[in-house]
Structure formats: C-alpha cells, structure tokens
Amino acid sequence: MIRIIPAIDVIDGKCVRLTQGDYAQKKVYNEDPLEVAKMFEDHGVEYLHLVDLDGARKKHVVNYRVLEKITSRTGLLVDFGGGIKTDEDLELVFKCGANQATIGSVAIIDPPLFEAWIRKFGSEKIILGADAKDGKIAVAGWLDVTDKDIFDFFAEYQLKQIKYVLCTDISRDGMLQGTAIDLYDQLNIRFPELNIIASGGITAISEIEKLDEMGIFAAIIGKAIYEGRIKLKELEKFSGK
C-alpha cells in the first residue's frame, strides 16, 4: 500500500502553498500549521512532509519551532526539508523531533558533506530530494536547471547507500494539472531497491491509485488537499482507518 504524506509548507510560521516554487504566488491556508497537522492525524494520516520555505530562502533552518510543536503534540512521523545546509541545521532538525530529513541542494553542491551525513545518521534518516525539469536536476529554489540527469544522480547515490528519494517534477508542482506518472514509472523500473516518493502536481485520487498500482513507495500531496480536489476522507482507505 502506498504511503500517503500530506505536505505543510511554512512561511512566517503559517501554512502556505506556492505555485511552482514562486514566493510571489503564495496563498495562506492556515495561521497555525499544528491545526492542519492534527486534522491530518484525525483522518488516519501517519506521516507528514514539513517544508521550511523561509529556511530554503535564507539557507538555514528557520521554522524549527513549528517542527517541534507538531512532533511534540501529534504522533505524526515528520520528514523536514528546507534550509538544511550545515551539521548544526541537521542536528537541530533531529533534536526538534523530525523522523527524517529531506535534503536536496547539499547533495549536488557538496556531495562529501551529504555522504558524511548518510554515514553519521544512517540511510533510514536521510531522504535525497531531487527537483527535476525535463529530466534534469534543478537547484536554487528551482531557478537553476543543471545538466545533471536525474537517473544518473539517483544511480550515483544509490551506490552510496541512499534508500529514500523524493522526486518533484517542478513543471507540475502546485499547478493541479496532474503528476508525472511516466517519470515515476521509469524511476521505479530503473531503481527497484529505492523507496521512491512522488511529489508535485497530484490532483486526483485516481493518480494515487495509479502510483499505488505501479508500486511507488509514497506520494506527497499538497495543494490538492487544500483546494478540496482530494478529500481527506478519500485518503483514509490508504491508511486502513
């Protein structure tokens, strides 16, 4: 059964969503992310993807208090991403209760540091985050598309013991126009040992069912929940609630 992971993106301590990572296209959905997290938990959700958008922009973890509040007041297993650039950032995230940390830019910009984190904290605690456009890795808040192929990127880190990979097709994220089913199918076929987390553009329950049929490990769902395209009640069948 596919793992359902709702997303909470945080700016100024509030639950927001962006469109294609554009901070100018910000919509506030709730002043209190804890309320949203509790709502998810009430519907049988066990996992949460928490993104510190302030941290991503400022290049250090900012909204760790939100993480701490959610992990201390719910039973959700939280993976936290955004602004993790140093040992201190990563240690703070785990100290505040994160179950896993999602890390993208460092894996591209400073591979030795990222590999050191895998060795220190273990591959169960680190998720390799990869934003892709037309099969190429994008960095710097999606502003820069590199010439690095996503398949080569995953292959390199699979050799370095990574187990969890979160792949976001940035052309689809926040657009409510469907997710990159073909991309995830290709990744799943090429990397059967990796736990592939699909992210970006999931708009309908039928897409989640398709990803489940394909054997995709997990799906992150954001704007579709907040805009009412996917009801939390519909997701309960994936949690066994």
Cβ atoms of 124 and 98 within 8 Å: the answer is no
pLDDT in tens, 58-112: 999 999 999 999 999 999 999 999 999 999 999 999 999 999 999 998 999 999 9
Just list the catalytic residues. Answer: 9, 131
Tokens of 113: 């540091």
Comparing CA positions, the residue from 1, 5, 6 lying closest to residue 223 is 6
Asked whether residue 9 carries a pLDDT value surpassing 90, the answer given is yes
Residue 36 main-chain phi, psi, to 5 deg? -65, -45
Taking residues 156-179, what's their average pLDDT? 82
For residue 133, what pLDDT band results from cuts at 50, 70 and 90?
confident
Residue type, 168: T
pLDDT band at 26 (very low <50, low <70, confident <90, very high): confident
What pLDDT score was predicted for residue 159? 96
pLDDT of residue 179: 86
Q: Which residues pair with 219 in a beta bridge?
A: 4, 198
CATH 3.20.20.70 fits 3-239, yes or no: yes
pLDDT-based confidence at residue 114 (cuts at 50, 70, 90): very high
Interval 152-169 mean pLDDT: 95
Residues 150/132, Cβ–Cβ less than 8 Å = yes
SS (H, E, C) the chain: CCEEEEEEEEECCEEEEEECCEEEEEEEEECCHHHHHHHHHHCCCCEEEEEEHHHHHHCCCCCHHHHHHHHHHCCCEEEEECCCCCHHHHHHHHHCCCCEEEECHHHHHCHHHHHHHHHHHCCCCEEEEEEEECCEEEECCCCEEEEEEHHHHHHHHHCCCCCEEEEEECCCCCCCCCCCHHHHHHHHHHCCCCEEEEECCCCCHHHHHHHHHHCCCEEEECHHHHCCCCCHHHHHHHHCC
Say whether pLDDT at 177 is over 70: no
pLDDT per residue as tens digits for the range 199-238: 988 999 999 999 999 999 999 999 999 999 999 999 999 9
Whether the full predicted model's pTM is greater than 0.85, yes or no, is: yes
Domain boundaries along the sequence of the chain: 3-239
